[in-house]
Every structure is written in structure tokens, then in C-alpha cells.
Structure 1
Amino acid sequence: MNTAHLTKPGRAALSGLVGDTPLLHVSGPFAPDGRGFWAKLEGFNPGGIKDRPGLYMVERAQIRGDLKSGARIIESTSGTLGLGLALAGMVYGHPVTLVTDPGMESSMTRLLTAYGAQVNVVSEPHPTGGWQQARRDRVIQLMRQYPDSWCPDQYNNPDNTGAYTPLALELATELGHIDVLVCSVGTGGHSAGVSRVLQQLYPALKLVGVDTIGSTIFGQPARPRLMRGLGSSIYPRNVAYDKFSEVHWVAPAEAVWSCRQLAASHYATGGWSVGAVALVAGWLARTMPENTRIAAIFPDGPQRYLGTVYDDDYCAAHGLFDSPPAPEPEVIGRLDEKEVNRWTRCAHVLDPLALSQVVATEDRTAEEEHSGADAEEGR
């Protein structure tokens, strides 16, 4: 075999490692025989699903002239986008600084450093915005230190969503038709990007979002979160709220159960997001009509979670073995109806900022009606 073309891997060779990931049909124990869902295994990319936006955001910034030749890339990350940006730095010739927090696994820090990235760790959460806001504040500080540096701003950058067009087309080519798409939601990038394309191809497609308890994305109060890779303590503008048919919140113990069931039954699994998505996709496969074609996106593999999700001592210490998930989610009628602490579903999705305006209007209306009644009674 002629291997001369492999001796000096260039940009095309590195970026060519991303995409065309496998598709796996998942059934029992998540759904009975004859039912199930199709899982897109994005963990087969070198660094996971965010290799796609890492490469695409950098490429588009170079084309626009926003990112100068050799300039430093600085971004906040809980890990997976960091891998994608480390890859993009190699492909396009940029040094990379990644800002994270103490919750990122030490194995991930070592891996990012091995790939040539500088890792900067914040020590304290922001009083209201949590670790994410603290990381973003540090990014701003670092950009002042490095002239011409550039931040992808994954939370608000529209290229974060545009990067997922190839993933959507892969799914459409492989499955032919899709009725339901199940995605975890963090920055909102892949749920918005994939659904935008698929809903053009299949106008009746339903988008189901999966979040973690303690996340603010869908109108819940911000709380400390054990699960990483999904959820947020800020409101990312890439979240396409108007595209979601429903949202589910999942707790850490439920995600762990799901991850381990996947590993034992299908020799495929991943981290917190994968477990949460599989739990919800399995329920949809059990409860929707038998011929419904469900696609679920598994953002990563299990490697970075060997010390958490797949560590018995860690799981026992955090009470993650207490009980398996309930067979059905709890249901609430409005995103802010109550604070959720277990698997919960809401079929009425609004932008939480718009929801707060609705609540304020309702409060004003009630107050005016009460004042009017008092005035009438005083006559």
C-alpha cells in the first residue's frame, strides 16, 4: 500500500477526521423489541460533537477577517468545545487558551494541554451567573492581555449553529425520514443547527430538548449542577426556543443509570448528555406510535467520565445509585410552574425572558383587576 500521502498530515487530513459518524439503533432496555431510536454517535469524532463548530467557527472568522493570521483564540469551555478548538488551532495555525473551572475533569485538562492548548482555571463562581459567567469574565480579561485575540463566543455565535448542517444532512441521508429529533441543550448550537435543516426537509418534525435540573435555559432557577456538557446558568442566544415541541429535565442519578444501561446493552455510551438524551428518547420510543422514527444525538463518548459517571465510588458518594428513574416523567404545564428535581417534562416551551414578561403582565393585570374591584366596592 502506498502510504506516502500519510507521512505529513496537513489541514485537510486533520479536519477530514470529523464527520460521517456511526448510527446505532437502540432498543432494550429503553424500549421493547420492535421499537427504539437511532443514536448518532458523535463521540466517534476525535474530540466529540464540538469538533464541528470548533473548526467551522474558526474557518468562518478567518474568512471574514475577524481572526487574524496566528492570533490567539480564547474561549470558555467545560471541555468538549475545548477539544474542538484545540483541533482548529492545529488546522488553522492559532494558539489556543481555554478558560474552565474546577469542575472539569483533570484527565480533560491533561488532554487539552497535550493537544497544545493553554488551560486557565477560574477559582470562584460569579455571584449570580455561576461558573459560566466567571469563565466569560476571565475570557474578557485575557483578551485585553493578547492584542488581536479572538473569542468564538459559542453561546451567541450563529456559526455555532451553522456548523451542524453537515450533521443534519448525514442524518437525513442515513435515515431517509425523521419524525422526532432529541437533543441535549447547552449552548443551543446543535439543537438549533440540526433542527433548522431537518425541519426544512421534514416540516412535521418535532424537536425535543433535554436539559439538566438546576439549569436556567428553560426558565428554571440556577442551582449548582453536577452534570456537565448540558445546561447553563446564563441564557444562550443560540437556543431556538420556538423550534422545541417539548423539553425534559433529567437528574444526575437518572443520567448515570441510563449511561450504564447503554454500556451494558449496546457497547456504546457517553457522558451526562448521552445518558439524559437516551432516557428521554427511550421514553418517546415506548410511548409514541410504533412506526415513529426517532433520532437522538449522542454528543460524546465515555472516556472523560471514567472518574465520574463510571466510577462506583464517585457515584456512591454523590448518591447516584439511590434508585432507577421512574418509568414516566413528571409533567408540568409551564416552564416555571415549580422547581424540578427529577425527570420532568413540559410541552409548552417559551423563551424564559419572554416568559418573565408574560408573568409580569399577568401580575399587573391581576393587580389592576384587584384595584378596580376595591374601587368598585368603595363606591
Structure 2
Amino acid sequence: MRKIARDILDTIGNTPLVHLSRFFGKEHVYAKLESANPAGSMKDRTSHLIVSELLRNGNVMEGGTIVESSSGNMAVGLAQACRFYGLKLKVVVDVNLNKQTHKLLTTYGADVIMVNEPLPDGGFLAARLKKVNELLDTIPGSIWSNQYGNPNNPKAYFAVMEEITNSLSQNLDYLFVATSTCGSLMGCANYIEQNELNTKLIAVDANGSVLFGGRPEKRKIPGHGASVPSQFLDISKIHDVIHVTDLDCIQGCRDLLNKEAILSGGSSGGIVSAYQRYSQRLPEKSTSVLLLPDSGERYLDTVYNDNWVKHIIGNRNFKRDNYQPIKLQNGILGTAI
């Protein structure tokens, strides 16, 4: 029997772990559905822990203002937490923010500040962070929640690992995690290290991201990859990294919907595609978990919109309601570290 939650934030965590048997047959592949969190993504975990700790330590008081930069999910998680705790939120976003997320933010009462132009060095993320500093200088008593450097970001994902390993009786061989701030990635990595697990961590990064030494390029699918280095990333704790394109993300989303009836977000689709390409390297009977950050409801106008894909992403193999598998050189996506 489920417990009665104390409040809405008490429902964060204990998200479903689903066997993807229709997609991958007899393979032991599971999806951790973080979309089941109350504000719709795994960033609910980060937001709640960061905000509650700022309040507990007296860094912000009721009625105070939190400022943050976000590509979407962190903003929504913070908006819910700030609404609950009686805080104001100024969230800096950029033009890649999808319309549904913008509506959610304004509904929660967040003040949305849009950055329209990237900086030459650091792209949209650097431009957003510049605006954050400007706001902190002009809003008395405001504080930056700083998802990019706050140690409570990775700490929030210890609970994710506990939930997964308890469900699988610690029988977890591979964990696939998308990158952005690298908070979730390194939180899982630190848990694996501290608990001396044999789990191998696979980072799923975006083409055009600089996190693993790549060159910055324009990206249209928000929520993964970064145009500036991560303050959390420790490559020595990562077993491997796979890079995915925007189209990989779209294909993965649609494949997951078609085969499992799971409506997932853009970075989740990237993880699905990454697993498909990487599975040829995995030992037989190995157990893998795909940490899926959010649902697809916020991507209906983009990832699941045929016209948007054709005009913004472009693909000569595009067919309505279907994508043909991309053939990669040598059959391999990404590079080993």
C-alpha cells in the first residue's frame, strides 16, 4: 500500500522502473521513468534538494528571490519548489525553450527572462549565465541556485541509484545517463564508487557539446549537452561516452513510443538511440538501465511534430510518423574513453 504523501514535494522519487521487453525482447533493459516526478522530470530531485537546503541554511528566506539559468526541466522543477516554499523565481532561458515549458513556467508564477543571442564563446549557456549575474547584481537579496556548481545537484541522484539497485538487487551492469550539467551523471558515478558497485556508467552526450572535448555546434534538442565545460565532470569515473545527433533523439523518442507506448522527451530519445547502437558491445545477459529524464508532453510541437522535424532538423529519409534507422560508419556511434 502506498503511503499518504505529506505534500506534493514528498512525492518526488520512487519513480517506476520499466522492463522494455517489447522494444528489446529478452534483453535485460529497463527504463527509469523520471517523468513520474510531480513536475515531470528528474530535475525535480535537484530542485527540491537545492531549494530546501538554501532555506535550511538561511541562504534564502520566504519571499526571497532565486535566480537560475535553464534549458527547461530545471526551471520547471524550481518553479514548483519556489511556489511551494513561497519564493520568487527569475529563470533565464533561451530561444530553444519549447512553448509548453514556457507555459508551465508562467503558470507556476516564474518570471521568464529570454536570451535571444548566443555569445561567441560559450553559446547560449554562456549568454544565460551572463544574464544571471546581471540579475543578481540588480535584485537585492537574490541568490543563484547554481545547478552548474551546487554540490546538492549530484547529491540528489544518490536516491536514484538506491532505487535502481534496490529494485534490481544490485544486479546492474550498465547505466546510460544523459549529460548537461553532469550533476545526474556524476551523482550516479559517485554512488557507484562509494558503494563499490561493478556498474559501468555510459554517458550520452549531444553532438556539438563540449563536455568531452568536442567542438561547439548548434543543437535544437534542449536538455542535454553543453556549450561550456562541466564543473562536476570527472571522466575517470565514466566507462564510455556516446554522442547522439538531434535526429537520433527524435528517432529514439518515436521508436520508444511505437514499441512501448512511452512518450519520452528529447534527451530520453537520445539515450534510447545510444543504447541501440551500443548494445552490440555488451556481454550477453547483461542488465542495463536507461535513465530517462522526462516525458514527451513538452516536445509535442518539436520532436513529435513532423513539419518541425522536416524544416528545423531536416532528413532525406524522413517519412511521416516514421524514421528509418541511420546507418553509421563502421556501425559505431560515439567514442570510447
TM-score, length-scaled by structure 2: 0.91
Question: For residues 147 and 316 of structure 2, what CA distance do their matches in structure 1 show?
Answer: 34
Given candidates 55, 58, 73, the residue that maps to 1:62 is 55
Is 2:256 the partner of 1:267? no
Question: For residues 209 and 87 of structure 2, what CA distance do their matches in structure 1 show?
Answer: 33
Question: For residues 194 and 13 of structure 2, what CA distance do their matches in structure 1 show?
Answer: 21
1:143 paired residue number: 136
Is 2:292 the partner of 1:303? no
2:37 paired residue number: 45
Deviating more after overlay: 148-157 vs 322-331: 322-331
Is 2:125 the partner of 1:132? yes
Given candidates 162, 165, 168, the residue that maps to 1:175 is 168
Is 2:97 the partner of 1:104? yes
Distance 1:330 1:248, change over 3 A: farther
Question: For residues 152 and 287 of structure 2, what CA distance do their matches in structure 1 show?
Answer: 28
* Contact 1:99–1:120, Cα closer than 8 Å, also in 2: yes
Is 2:215 the partner of 1:226? no
Question: For residues 282 and 25 of structure 1, what CA distance do their matches in structure 2 show?
Answer: 15
Given candidates 171, 186, 201, the residue that maps to 1:207 is 201
Alignment of 1:1-379 (within 5 A): 12-29=6-23, 31=24, 33-47=25-39, 48-176=41-169, 177-317=171-311, 318-320=313-315, 322=317, 324-326=324-326, 344-348=333-337
Question: For residues 83 and 325 of structure 1, what CA distance do their matches in structure 2 show?
Answer: 33
Secondary structure of 1:345 counterpart: coil
Question: For residues 27 and 319 of structure 1, what CA distance do their matches in structure 2 show?
Answer: 31
* Contact 2:8–2:38, Cα closer than 8 Å, also in 1: no
Q: Percent identity?
A: 31
| Equivalent residue letter for 1:49 | M
Question: For residues 96 and 276 of structure 2, what CA distance do their matches in structure 1 show?
Answer: 29
> CA offsets, 1:249-277, max 9 Å, x none?
00111221111010011011312210111
> CA offsets, 1:71-113, max 9 Å, x none?
1001000110011101110222211111001111122111110
Deviating more after overlay: 283-292 vs 119-128: 283-292
1:202 Cα deviation (Å)? 4.6
Question: For residues 165 and 203 of structure 1, what CA distance do their matches in structure 2 show?
Answer: 13
Question: For residues 92 and 152 of structure 1, what CA distance do their matches in structure 2 show?
Answer: 14
* Contact 1:36–1:285, Cα closer than 8 Å, also in 2: no
Q: Say how many residue pairs are matched.
A: 326
Q: CA RMSD in A?
A: 1.9
Question: For residues 70 and 50 of structure 1, what CA distance do their matches in structure 2 show?
Answer: 22
1:334 paired residue number: none
* Contact 2:100–2:299, Cα closer than 8 Å, also in 1: no
| Equivalent residue letter for 1:184 | A
* Contact 1:37–1:281, Cα closer than 8 Å, also in 2: no
Which protein is bigger by CA-based radius of gyration? 1
* Contact 1:36–1:286, Cα closer than 8 Å, also in 2: no
Deviating more after overlay: 99-108 vs 72-81: 99-108
Question: For residues 253 and 307 of structure 2, what CA distance do their matches in structure 1 show?
Answer: 16
In structure 1, list runs of 5 or more residues that go unmatched. Answer: 1-5, 332-342, 349-379
Question: For residues 255 and 64 of structure 1, what CA distance do their matches in structure 2 show?
Answer: 39
| Equivalent residue letter for 2:157 | Y
Distance 1:35 1:283, change over 3 A: farther
